[in-house]
């Protein structure tokens, strides 16, 4: 029996989004039955539809309650569904619309399926999860129970004192009491002085609930705004670049990415109190060695992470190794690029799992040596690896050119896209200045110099630009 219950629960879990969407649509139709019947749109089918939908909801409630690990907990968490099914509370069938709220548990899947996978939605979802985890559900539940008991007691007293006692009359009184708390009750429903006093009490309760709800809402908005301003939120990006650490190189990189036509979204993660990079970068205040902070920066959905040392010491390199280890442990699919102070530490970064290691001192020395032999080389290299005007270096995929020789592919690239082939990338290796008769293979990438990204649009552009 336990096995069957677990299988039923597993089925609902696997199909949660589709099932909740179906039941939410049925709940909307359930609520609209009375207006449709009043308009004559359903003819004489309203009672039959009412019974069928009620049967569906009741069956689902009973099955899920039977299969739930905690039946008492399921009933406790779905009281609104149960109340809406009772014949004495038919006017409260609008409670069925709470099924729409239940979809928020699956909001990441829902907004991805509907094309609303936006950074702002992801950030608000993160804040909602954070606030929800901090709420004391016992206090909230107790408050709701007190309100429900008060509304129910008033409805019962009004029914006994002023109405002919029937289940239908109690349901109407309950509907009136709930609407009075919400500010839309009919004051003419009660006709005695005692009923008027109860009506005023419900109005006062409604004003109190409104004031508390307004205060809570304003408090949540202020809390979210403060958290976002201090970098205590989440990036909400996907396919973006994460910059871990802040120094002069990181500042130059952010400026380069901000002016590049590729439009890369950047999240900066560093232990500062304010954003040092300006409004073009989403700032996340935190420690890049802490996995929770990396996840707030959106590491699992990022395409590349760049690690910069805090200063020029060996201790900063050791900290960068810890950052790389944290990244590889959390999201090994993310490409990791690290700036290293000491060339002797390159092997340590390779063992830690860094995909690319940059030693600025070595690069500067090699470029200076070449420039000493060949004047003007520094300016040329700086131009092709930086954004702005002029030609730049790009890594692209060329599936349409598979099977061609390098010579034929280079001719087509230059003629069709104004791009000059510089090298091939194959199996993690770079073939610089490949032989003219080299055949392009499946999975090969090409390193080209071109005027802009737009000239390469017909091709499949790599996620990262050379030089970033």
Any residues with CB less than 8 A from the CB of 192 and at least 6 apart, and which?
161, 162
CATH of the domain at 311: 3.40.50.720
Does residue 304 belong to any structural domain of this protein? Answer: yes
pLDDT digits (tens, 9 = 90+) for 385-427: 776 566 778 888 878 788 899 899 889 888 888 888 888 888 8
Q: Which pLDDT band, with edges at 50, 70 and 90, does 217 fall under?
A: confident
**What percent of the chain is predicted at pLDDT more than 90?**
20
Any residues with CB less than 8 A from the CB of 434 and at least 6 apart, and which?
406, 423, 424
pLDDT digits (tens, 9 = 90+) for 339-396: 999 999 999 999 999 999 999 888 888 888 888 888 878 877 777 777 656 677 888 8
Q: Which residues of 18-42 are buried (b: 16+ CB within 10 A; e: fewer)?
A: ebbbebbebbeebeebeeebeeeeb
What's the average model confidence in pLDDT over 192-214? 86
Predicted local confidence at residue 66, as pLDDT: 87
Does residue 234 belong to any structural domain of this protein? Answer: no
CATH of the domain at 173: 1.10.287
pLDDT at 467 over 60: no
pLDDT digits (tens, 9 = 90+) for 92-109: 555 555 655 555 555 555
Does residue 135 belong to any structural domain of this protein? Answer: yes
From residue 8, alpha-carbon distances to 64, 106, 465 in Å are 8, 19, 49
Is there a single domain that holds both residue 25 and residue 101? yes
Is there a single domain that holds both residue 6 and residue 99? yes
Q: How many domains does the chain have?
A: 4
Paired tokens of 389: 């005007």
DSSP-derived secondary structure letter, 42: S
Query: pTM to 2 decimals?
Result: 0.63
Its domain, for residue 206, covers 118-229
Least confident of 80-84, 170-174, 287-291, 461-465: 461-465
Average pLDDT score, the chain: 81
Is there a single domain that holds both residue 269 and residue 321? yes
Paired tokens of 341: 């102070």
Which range of 165-169, 335-339, 402-406 scores highest in mean pLDDT? It is: 335-339
- The domain boundary, picked from 99, 114, 129, lies at 114
Q: Is 443 exposed, middle or buried (0-12, 13-18, 19+ CB in 10 A)?
A: exposed
What's the average model confidence in pLDDT over 320-326? 95
Predicted local confidence at residue 260, as pLDDT: 62
Grouping H, G, I as helix, E, B as strand and the rest as coil, residue 41 is: coil
């Amino acid at each position: 029996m336990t096995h069957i219950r677990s299988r039923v629960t597993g089925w609902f879990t696997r199909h949660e989004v589709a099932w909740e969407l179906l039941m939410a649509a049925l709940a909307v139709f359930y609520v609209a039955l009375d207006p449709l019947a009043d308009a004559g749109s359903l003819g004489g089918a309203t009672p039959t539809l009412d019974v069928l939908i009620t049967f569906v909801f009741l069956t689902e409630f009973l099955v899920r309650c039977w299969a739930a690990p905690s039946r008492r907990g399921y009933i406790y968490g779905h009281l609104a569904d149960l109340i809406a099914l009772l014949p004495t509370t038919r006017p409260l069938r609008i409670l069925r619309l709470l099924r729409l709220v239940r979809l928020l548990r699956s909001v990441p899947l829902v907004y991805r399926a509907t094309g609303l996978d936006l950074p702002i939605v992801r950030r608000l979802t993160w804040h909602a999860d954070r606030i929800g985890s901090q709420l004391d559900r016992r206090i909230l539940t107790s408050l709701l129970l007190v309100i429900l008991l008060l509304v129910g007691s008033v409805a019962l007293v009004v029914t006994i004192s002023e109405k002919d006692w029937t289940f239908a009359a109690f349901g109407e009184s309950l509907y009136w009491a709930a609407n009075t708390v919400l500010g839309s009750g009919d004051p003419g429903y009660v006709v005695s002085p005692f009923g008027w006093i109860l009506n005023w009490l419900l109005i006062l309760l409604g004003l109190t609930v409104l004031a508390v709800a307004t205060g809570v809402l304003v408090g949540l908005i202020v809390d979210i705004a403060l958290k976002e301003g201090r970098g205590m939120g989440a990036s909400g990006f996907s396919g973006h670049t994460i910059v871990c650490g802040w120094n002069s190189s990181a500042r130059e990189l952010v400026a380069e990415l901000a002016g590049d036509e590729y439009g890369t979204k950047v999240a900066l993660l560093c232990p500062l109190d304010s954003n040092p990079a300006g409004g073009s970068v989403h700032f996340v205040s935190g420690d890049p060695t802490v996995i929770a902070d990396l996840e707030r920066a959106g590491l699992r959905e990022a395409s590349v992470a760049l690690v910069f040392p805090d200063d020029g010491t060996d201790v900063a390199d050791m900290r960068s190794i810890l950052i790389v280890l944290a990244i590889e442990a959390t999201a090994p699919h993310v490409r990791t690029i690290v700036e290293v102070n000491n060339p002797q530490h390159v092997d340590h970064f390779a063992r830690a799992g860094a995909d690319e290691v940059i030693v600025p001192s070595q690069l500067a020395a090699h470029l200076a040596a070449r420039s000493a032999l060949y004047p003007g080389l520094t300016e040329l290299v700086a131009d092709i690896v930086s954004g702005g005007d002029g030609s730049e270096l790009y890594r692209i995929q060329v599936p349409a050119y598979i099977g061609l020789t390098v010579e034929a592919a280079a001719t087509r690239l230059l003629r069709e896209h104004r791009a000059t082939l510089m090298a091939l990338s194959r199996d993690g290796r770079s073939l610089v200045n490949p032989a003219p008769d080299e055949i392009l293979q499946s999975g090969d990438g090409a390193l080209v110099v071109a005027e802009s990204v737009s000239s390469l649009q017909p091709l499949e552009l790599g996620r990262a630009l050379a030089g970033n």
